């Protein structure tokens, strides 16, 4: 898959009115289970996927994903095992995969070395929520040198001027938080959200992905026509915890029905 992430998204949007991006924590509940979750998600129709590298202090994540991070680390997940896992799924499944990580992991690995590794194994871009543009010179140059997409974030609290600055350094798509706070909490899908997404749309010509609190078909239906990508994260982990790995495909198919 050599086309750019933005091109892929816009082409998919000619076929369907909203795309679905899912999120897994690599190594949770095990790497074998993670692989099966990815396989079921792709088979059920997911359009793109975030692969989270487990981290001990995932500050943007709520209790569900935080717990998954810790369990993966306790089970022995490392950056290297995650890179190996990512290489396997990018080779086997024909959708774009992104890394979601925190800046400490990239700095420790070496920013340019990490970006080169991402390109080598077929990752399309990264979401690094604790690395603002003002502190991201090395990251942005490393991503550009490897034709990777740095995915940046808008929130309802982001002023218009700040949105314009974020747009300048972004490519691929913009990740729009449906509300302030951390992942996994309840989101009010209302006119306020629609108004905010209208403001996001004016700030960028990149596709808009909406996450934080998207957990059922009604949420995705609300986002049709006002967003380009719905992002489901914590709810998939809840489904796996409650019903087992084999609940993944039926859950995804229900979202897309």
Q: Per the residue annotation, which of 61, 149, 219, 228 is the catalytic one?
A: 61
Please name the helix (run of DSSP H) or strand (run of DSSP E) that holds residue 24, with its range, or none: strand 19-25
Angle of helix 111-121 relative to helix 137-145, nearest 10 degrees, comes to: 30
Tokens of 216: 């059922």
Q: What digits encode the pLDDT tens for the residues 154-180?
A: 999 999 999 999 999 999 999 999 854
Name the residue among 159, 32, 158, 19 with its Cα closest to residue 96.
19
Three-state SS sequence of 192-222: HHHHHHHHHHHHCCCCEEEECCCCCHHHHHH
Q: What angle do CA 100, 209, 84 make, to 5 degrees?
A: 25
At 61, the pLDDT band (50, 70, 90 cuts) reads low
Q: Does the pLDDT of residue 240 top 70, yes or no?
A: yes
Output the pLDDT for position 180.
Answer: 45
**CATH number for the domain including 58?**
3.20.20.70
Give the global pTM. Answer: 0.93
- Determine the structural domain holding residue 136 and report its residue range: 5-256
Output the pLDDT for position 181.
Answer: 39
| 165 CB-near residues (< 8 Å, 6+ apart) | 133
Weakest-pLDDT range from 27-36, 77-86, 208-217: 208-217
Angle of helix 31-44 relative to helix 248-256, nearest 10 degrees, comes to: 30
Q: Does the pLDDT of residue 90 top 60, yes or no?
A: yes
d(CA 176, CA 211): 7
Q: How many residues does the chain have?
A: 257
Output the pLDDT for position 97.
Answer: 98
* Domains identified in the chain, total number: 1
Catalytic status, residue 50: yes
Tokens of 103: 């800046």
d(CA 81, CA 141): 26
Output the pLDDT for position 225.
Answer: 87
Q: Per the residue annotation, which of 6, 17, 32, 50 is the catalytic one?
A: 50
Count CB-CB contacts under 10 A for residue 208: 20
Output the pLDDT for position 13.
Answer: 97
How many Cα atoms are found within 13 Å in the side-chain-facing hemisphere of 57?
Answer: 4
Output the pLDDT for position 55.
Answer: 83
Output the pLDDT for position 59.
Answer: 61
Catalytic status, residue 6: no
Count CB-CB contacts under 10 A for residue 190: 9
């Amino acid at each position: 898959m050599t086309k750019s992430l933005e091109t892929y998204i816009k082409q998919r949007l000619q076929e369907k009115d909203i795309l679905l991006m899912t999120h897994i924590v690599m190594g949770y509940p095990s790497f074998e289970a993670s692989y099966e979750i990815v396989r079921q998600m792709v088979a059920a129709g997911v359009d793109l996927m975030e692969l989270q590298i487990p981290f001990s202090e995932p500050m943007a994540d709520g209790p569900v994903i935080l717990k998954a991070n810790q369990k993966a680390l306790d089970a022995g997940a490392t950056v290297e095992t995650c890179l190996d896992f990512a290489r396997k799924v990018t080779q086997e499944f024909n959708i774009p995969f992104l890394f979601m990580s925190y800046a400490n992991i990239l700095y420790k690995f070496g920013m340019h070395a990490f970006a080169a590794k991402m390109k080598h194994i077929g990752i399309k871009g990264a979401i690094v929520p604790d690395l603002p543009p003002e502190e991201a010179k090395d990251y942005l140059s490393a991503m550009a040198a490897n034709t990777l997409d740095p995915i940046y974030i808008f929130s309802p609290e982001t002023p218009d001027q700040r949105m314009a600055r974020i747009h300048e350094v972004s490519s691929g798509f913009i990740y729009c938080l449906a509300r302030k706070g951390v992942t996994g909490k309840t989101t009010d899908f209302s006119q306020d959200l629609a108004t905010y997404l209208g403001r996001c749309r004016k700030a960028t010509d990149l596709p808009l992905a909406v996450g934080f609190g998207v957990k059922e078909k009604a949420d995705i239906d609300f986002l049709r026509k006002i967003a380009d990508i719905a992002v489901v994260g914590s709810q998939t982990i809840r489904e796996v915890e409650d019903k087992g790995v084999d609940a993944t495909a039926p859950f995804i198919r229900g979202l897309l029905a």
